[in-house]
Chain A
Amino acid sequence: MTVESTAARTPRRSAGSKAGTTGTKRTTRTPAKKDAKSTEPQLVQLLTPEGKRVKNAEYDKYVAGITPEELRGLYRDMVLTRRFDAEATSLQRQGELGLWASLLGQEAAQIGSGRATRDDDYVFPTYREHGVAWCRGVDPANLLGMFRGVNNGGWDPNSNNFQLYTIVIGSQTLHATGYAMGVAKDGADSAVIAYFGDGASSQGDVAESFTFSAVYNAPVVFFCQNNQWAISEPTEKQSRVPIYQRAQGFGFPGVRVDGNDVLGVLAVTRWALERARTGEGPTLVEAFTYRMGAHTTSDDPTRYRGDEERQAWEAKDPILRLRRYLEASNHADEGFFAELETESEALGKRVREAVRSMPDPDHFAIFENAYADGHALVDEERAQFAAYQASFADEGGN
Chain B
Amino acid sequence: MSNLTYTIIFYLFAVITLCSAAFVVFSKNVIYSAFSLLFTFFGVAALYVFLSADFIAVTQVVVYVGGILVLLLFGVMFTKSIMNTEMQTDVLHIVPGTLILAGIIGALLYTFYTTHTWMPSNKQLYGSIVERIGYETMSHFVLPFEMVSILLLAALIGAAFLARFDKPDKTKS
A binds B: no
